[in-house]
Amino acid sequence: MLAELTLTLLLLLSPLALGQTQIHQFQYQTDEQFHEELVVRPLAGDHVNTYFQFTTRWHYGVHKNLYHTQLTPRVIAEILQTYDVRELHIGLTQGLWRYETWGYPIVEATGGAELWAWFSSPNLTDDSVNNQWMRLANVFSGILCASLNFVDNTNSIAPKHIFRPQFMESGHRSQQFVRYATLPREIVCTENLTPWKKLLPCGSASGLATLLNSGYVHNTKYHSLGVKVRTLCDSDDPNNCIVELTQTANLVYDLKLLEQSNTDFSLRRLFGMGLNGYCEMANSSKIYVQRNEQGERFQLTPPPQEEVLSKVGGHSVLFGVYDIQQQFEGPGARLFNIAWLGPKGNSKREHMSPPPLYAHRYLLGNGQKHGRIATEVTNTHYEPLPVVLMELVPWYVHAYLHTLRISSKPQHLYEYTTNELKYSLLHYAPGKQRVLPTHLEIGFMLPARSSALITIEVDYLLLKWLEYPPDANHGHYIGSAVISSQLPIGRNYTALPLEGYLFQDSFNASRTAYMLTLRTEALIVSLPTPDFSMPYNVICLACTVVALAFGPIHSVATKLIIVERQTTIPRNLLRKIVHKLTTRFSRRPANSAVNEQQNDEQNGKGKEKEKKKEQEKKQLDQTENKKFCDKQAHM
């Protein structure tokens, strides 16, 4: 009972409740703002998380103002017009966020490319949304130089429960549509970073974005670029709207990979250069440095200008704040650098307690015919947690709903027991070969201090030979599962609150519950793959053999072969001529008979069967005679 209640609460958290106060705040602001922020958080295990957030917030008022952009990139404004997009998330990620050691990230992303969007407009239908979704993906494929053009209806789904809109509609209540797709195979590189930086007002010329050098960014353990767009409109006044573009870059550095002996690091070590100033367009540009937990052991030079203590859900975090605009107030160009000096001597590695909820996914079974997709969700909290899990299984893998099992175990055991959890919510849309992916959403209560293993059996499909990618034996990807929950405590929780748009909005943002979404690992399945060195040989050889064999076999099977011996020809010239003449005359009827017989066979006319039989008899006699002739000749 309690479980269902929490679950419905989780699902029905509507966007309308959140922003009433917000609307009034920006009622009469008509300007455009740009903020740049950098958060540096030392993590467990010699890792450092650096998080860049660039926020452009434009109170554009009337809809047609969208054609005259200043700080907001024109493309972003245009897609709102053209494709009825109200909210858009794009993530381009390399690596995997390790929840157990790093806690929760500020923004979530899955490996490869991830894209989801909310559409809303008075006259939208499901089909037109499908169409617009594909066009939207194609537009961003160009903007970000990513393979988002591979997003189409064969790998997109419309999530039912897991995503909730973060935008606000103007007055009219029109239907809302959501689409979600991932491309786990996408490799994120410099070619994505450069166009991403071009969306910023200052580009990579000045400001915090100068720190994002591809040589350093891509040497990290995890890097994720994000673009998030949402619109917030006054529910009464459709001409009072805000568009909010948030660009994020989330990086995790491994200090061991920086090839240095101690644990000291600095902005220059991480990014290759110090900071040369701030973006002149920015209203604020700040650096936040976490000082407690893992950050406690570091000394900062220069020391932060101020310190902020943030208490979220009974969990306090101390941040040191550097205001870059203040830093560069005086005359003269300087490079600004922050150094983290670790303790001297070998410090004992402290054990990091895992966050309240984390998940893993793996493939079980062996062979190329079938397997099981297993997702393991662990709750380390002392209360049960509601969990919603979404699976998007591509069409080349058949999932069977009747094999869905949720088995549970206490957290400290390794073996799963036979008792199964009951799900309180299930949405299943079966896949269709080459048309639709399988879409599965399950909601259940996860008991305190226990793990749940959700398994579903799948069959691997044998693809058509043109459907295999060039490196067929690499395997095919199954995108990550998305897991959503509501945490009662704010431990390790750093995401921005729904109504906020700056990192500082997350300070002291205590709520009754904290919305959490997790992403698991992607999977590689090896589908049954033919040996691609063979087909060419085999096809060529088999075709040649068939072509060569067909002619003789066909003629042997349909024609009658009569062997004629030339031994009876006399030697005398005159007699020869006479013999030739006689044989020619006598042979002619025989030849015609053969022809006629063939015609009969082809036409298959019943009335000529008798005639045919007669002819056959004649031929039999002839062949017999010939046989005798041959024998005589041999003798």
Partner 1 sequence: MVCYSNKTLTVPANFCLPNGLWKQEPVKMGLLSDPSISTHNKLVDSLAKHMRKLCYVFYTAGVVWFMCLALPEFNHGTYLSENALSPGLVYPEIRIDSNRLALQLLEELQRERKEHQSTTPHAWILGKFNEFGLETYIHNYTLRYPFGGGKEFHGKNIYGILRAPRIGSTEGIVFSAPYRPPSSVHDDISASVPVLLTFAEFARRKNYWAKDLVFLVTEQEQLGMQAWLEAYHDGDKKYDTSSSYLVPGNLPARAGALQAAVNIEVEDLEIDYVDVKIEGLNGKLPNLDMFNLVQRIMAREGVTSGYKQAPRKKRRTNYSTYEQNLRQMLAMLSAQTSGVPSGNHGLFHRYRIDALTISAAKRVTNSNVKSNPSSAAVPFLKAIEGISRSLNNLLERFHQSFFFYLIVHNDRYVSIGDYMPALVALIACGFVKAYLIWSTLDAPEHTSQQDADTNPPAVYLKLTLPYGSVLIYLTVSVVIGYMGNVLPLQKYLISLPIGAGPLTVAMLMAINLAGFALPFFLVLPFGGLELLHISLLLIYSCALIVIGLLNFALGFFVAVLSMPMIVALDPNTTNVTLRGLARLWTLLLNPVVVIYAVVLVLTFYQFPELAFQQLLLRAATAAMDAVTFALIDSVIYGNWLYFVACTVFFPLWIACWTLALGRRGDNTISKTKLKTN
Q: Which stretch binds partner 1 (CB under 8 A): 63-71, 195-203, 336-344, 367-375?
A: 367-375
For partner 1, the binding residue among 173, 344, 349, 571 (CB under 8 A) is 349
Q: Which residues pair with 141 in a beta bridge?
A: none
The CA distances from residue 141 to 75, 84, 191, 282, in Å, are: 12, 18, 12, 28
246 forms part of the interface with partner 1 (CB under 8 A): no
Q: Which stretch binds partner 1 (CB under 8 A): 90-98, 113-121, 269-277, 302-310?
A: 90-98
Using CB under 8 A as the criterion, what x/- string covers residues 16-45 for binding partner 1?
A: -----------------------------x
For partner 1, the closer CB: 80 or 522: 522
The CA distances from residue 111 to 48, 102, 116, 186, 495, in Å, are: 19, 16, 14, 8, 19
172 forms part of the interface with partner 1 (CB under 8 A): no
Closest by CA position to 267, among listed 340, 194, 193: 340
For partner 1, the closer CB: 333 or 557: 557
Please, what sign has the CA dihedral across residues 156, 161, 163, 169? positive
Q: Which amino acid is at 118?
A: W
Contact between residue 620 and residue 560 where contact means Cβ atoms under 8 Å apart: no
367 forms part of the interface with partner 1 (CB under 8 A): yes
600 forms part of the interface with partner 1 (CB under 8 A): no
624 forms part of the interface with partner 1 (CB under 8 A): yes
Torsion region of 257: left, alpha or beta (phi above 0 gives left; psi -120 to 50 gives alpha):
alpha
CB of 46 to partner 1, least distance (A): 6
Number of Cβ within 10 Å of residue 418's Cβ equals 6
408 forms part of the interface with partner 1 (CB under 8 A): no
Q: Which amino acid is at 50?
A: T
Write out the two tokens for 340: 């983290």
For partner 1, the binding residue among 18, 363, 448, 515 (CB under 8 A) is 363
Contact between residue 236 and residue 26 where contact means Cβ atoms under 8 Å apart: no
For partner 1, the binding residue among 42, 103, 105, 111 (CB under 8 A) is 111
Q: Which stretch binds partner 1 (CB under 8 A): 72-80, 385-393, 466-474, 577-585?
A: 466-474
Q: Compute the radius of gyration of the chain from its Cα atoms.
A: 37
Beta strands 284-290 and 32-43 are: parallel
* Neighbouring residues of 552: CB distance < 8 A, sequence distance ≥ 6: none
For partner 1, the binding residue among 374, 393, 397, 458 (CB under 8 A) is 374
For partner 1, the binding residue among 220, 247, 248, 597 (CB under 8 A) is 220
Q: Which residues pair with 266 in a beta bridge?
A: 339
For partner 1, the closer CB: 220 or 597: 220
Torsion region of 314: left, alpha or beta (phi above 0 gives left; psi -120 to 50 gives alpha):
left
Q: Which stretch binds partner 1 (CB under 8 A): 76-84, 318-326, 368-376, 580-588?
A: 368-376
For partner 1, the closer CB: 98 or 269: 98
265 forms part of the interface with partner 1 (CB under 8 A): no
The CA distances from residue 284 to 33, 93, 511, in Å, are: 9, 27, 26
For partner 1, the closer CB: 94 or 231: 94
CB of 552 to partner 1, least distance (A): 12
For partner 1, the binding residue among 455, 485, 492, 504 (CB under 8 A) is 455
Contact between residue 436 and residue 395 where contact means Cβ atoms under 8 Å apart: yes
264 forms part of the interface with partner 1 (CB under 8 A): no
The binding site for partner 1 (CB under 8 A) comprises: 45-46, 93-96, 98, 101, 111-112, 219-221, 254, 256-257, 259, 349, 360, 362-368, 372, 374, 407, 414-418, 453, 455, 471-475, 477, 521-526, 529, 531, 533, 556-557, 560, 620, 623-624, 627
